[in-house]
A = this chain, B = another copy of it.
Amino acid sequence: MAEKYSSSSLAKYLDGEFWEVKDQIRGEISSCELFQSNSYDLTLDQTRDLTVERLHYFLKLPQIRSQLKDQVKDGQNSFLAKSLGITELLCSADMATGVKLGVVCGLYGGAVTKLGGSEQKEQWYLPVSELEFTGMFAMTERGHGSNVRGILTEAHYQPSTQEFIIHTPCEDAQKMYIGNAMKGNFAAVFAQLIVNGEAQGPHCFIVPIRDRHGVMYSGVTAIDMKHKEGLHGVDNGILIFNKVRIPRENLLSKFGTVSEDGVYSSPIQSKGSRFNAMLAALTPTRLGLTVQAMAAMKLGLIIAVRYSHSRRQFGPKDQDEVKIIEHQTQYLRLMPHLAAALALTFTTRYAARLMDEALSQGQDLQSNRSLQALVAGLKAYSTWQNLACLQECRECTGGMGFMMENRIPSLKCDSDVFVTFEGDNVVMLQVVVRELLSQYTKQLGDSVVAGLIRTWTSSASDSFRTSLLGFNVDKVGDLSFLLKAVSYRERVLQRSLAARLYNKVEKNKDEFFGAWNSCLHHVTGLALAHIHRVTLEQFALAIQECQVAEDHALLMKFCLLHGTSLVYQERAWYLEHKYLTPSTSRQIRTQLLELCKSVKDAALKVVSDFNIPACCIQAPIAGVANPRAEWAFYSQPQIPSAQGTLSKL
């Protein structure tokens, strides 16, 4: 191991349960030549080849191999939590390799292991851990991205040969954007299953694309989509199938099978629910995107915070120039993002735990509505948070932040698509609200909207609100005030959405799509309010569990900052609802400024405790020397001592 990692109590706490494995992997990455440096001179092909090499190196690590083997077994304890930790590290080292791992193991692997039977898992996924072949995940079509239910690719069963015929009937049915399409061997293809002329809805099939020497199978065409804003190492392409025949056994069998003589059977009767169940089974992968976004965010923050503590510009007359972190706007732009990154760390851990528990108990994920809502919402919130964070990091590092060698530009470009793929964010927010909705309706066994209105209007009792309105002005800074505020907002938005939909759909008999669409701004607001509330709660809970007094105190400041920043962002709403008075609203702003100021020095400790190896940080302005850009080097600022840090707090 080339390097020591932070072994502070906070670093361990942020790392969580799997800190030991993570430290091993940090060591592996730091000692591997492939990850030591990024060249920005490579051609697209060279970049893709390098990504493949990196991925292979990573898949060969003993820790990763054993993890992949665990994936094939069902209900391994904490499998997801551990996977996420590993994913985050690989993404810090190289985002494209991380995304490619996500395609092969998360998406393709997820499809085979969650939708396939046990023999299928052994056949189609286990060899990946032996580097025998790789896979891809082909769901999106040209005509259907977000509305994936409408895919048009066909899979006709032919009893005479016991084969499915996979076919692209029109341009809109072409599989598009498929990651690993120019290199991978097998694709998990979603297609409309047709047996005896009867459509059974979308199902997932394993289709061989090219052999191990790269020779395409007949009937399959792959078109390279070439240059993207980022993720240059990931080869995205278009797949077109011209009556490709695959054996009957290649239909992943968990949610539907076809007998030799062409009889379809499925544990789920309705086509719609069947597809929903498949999609629900795939959601664990979605959480991967949240940690990918977190990896980018943390890197950006390390770089921007360190540079802000080294770089000096302007100052009082006839005195030394000040560190740029001292400018009020500078700490105001960076510190709330650091708080959000911490909140996301704890919230993702919580979601992974819920998911792991559900999986190890063999629970049906689809019916766990609140978990589905949480995962969809976290995907949207974290990926948007990341973009906002990286943009501030870019701007706060001035001209240096525009130079590739300082890493922020590629982080931005690579992670920009996170808001789009694995579920467009605006669509995800609608999933959040739909899941929350269904949760209540199901309990009541009633029509969606009627159920909704009844529960939501009664559950958020007015007495709760009244008691809050009596709060003491001095207490705006309390965590309990902030927790109540975000929770109140969620509930009021729920109730009012319910009332609006009820009026439109039940009373006025408006068509549902139009009614929903006319409330879309409200819907997305509610979904974000839901996630905001959960992140603040999970942050607060994580602090309660933190045993080290110093860490506890430090995290508490950031938690207050996160809460204050959430309320500040929505202060217009709180004022409209008279939850804040003009003077308490101003107090929230003052509090935001003061909290940001009070944590700006401690921020150096926090970013250090993110525990990211220097070869992943790369940026000379963050103190990582680089012979290609000596002009950008700023030595790493000193972390204030614990004493100093605490006394400032």
Contacts and interface: CB of A to CB of B under 8 A. Distances in A.
Contacts of A391: 387, 391
A281 interface: no
SS of A interface (majority): helix
A177 interface: yes
Can you tell how many copies of this chain the complex includes?
2
A552 interface: no
A122 interface: no
Contacts of A519: 328
A426 B329 contact: yes
Interface string A628-648: 110100000000000000000
Interface in A17-54: 40-41, 43-44
Interface string A552-588: 0000000000000000000110011110001001100
A176 to B, nearest CB: 7
A229 B413 contact: yes
Interface string A604-647: 00000000000000000000000011010000000000000000
Interface in A298-330: 313-317, 321, 326-330
Nearest to A144: B313
B405 A417 contact: no
Given A316-B511, A332-B521, A145 B398 contact: yes
Nearest to A401: B420
Interface stretch (A5-13, A219-227, A437-445, A484-492): A219-227
B420 A398 contact: yes
Contacts of A151: none
Contacts of A571: 572
Contact of A631 (B174, B399, B514): B174
Q: Which of A316, A413, A572 has the most CB of B within 10 A?
A: A572
Contact of A398 (B43, B146, B326): B146
Contacts of A424: 395, 398
A40 B420 contact: no
Interface string A437-478: 000000000000000000000000000000000000000000
Contact of A229 (B409, B421, B512, B593): B409
Interface in A216-268: 223, 225-230, 238
Interface string A408-429: 0100110011011100111000
B40 A399 contact: no
B420 A409 contact: no
Contacts of A504: none
A402 B416 contact: yes
A353 interface: no
Contacts of A16: none
Q: Which of A140, A229, A326 has the most CB of B within 10 A?
A: A229
A582 B593 contact: no
A572 B568 CA distance: 9
A178 to B, nearest CB: 11
A631 B229 contact: no
Given A40-B227, A225-B403, 7 more contacts: A176-B631, A225-B629, A228-B403, A328-B520, A329-B524, A395-B420, A575-B582
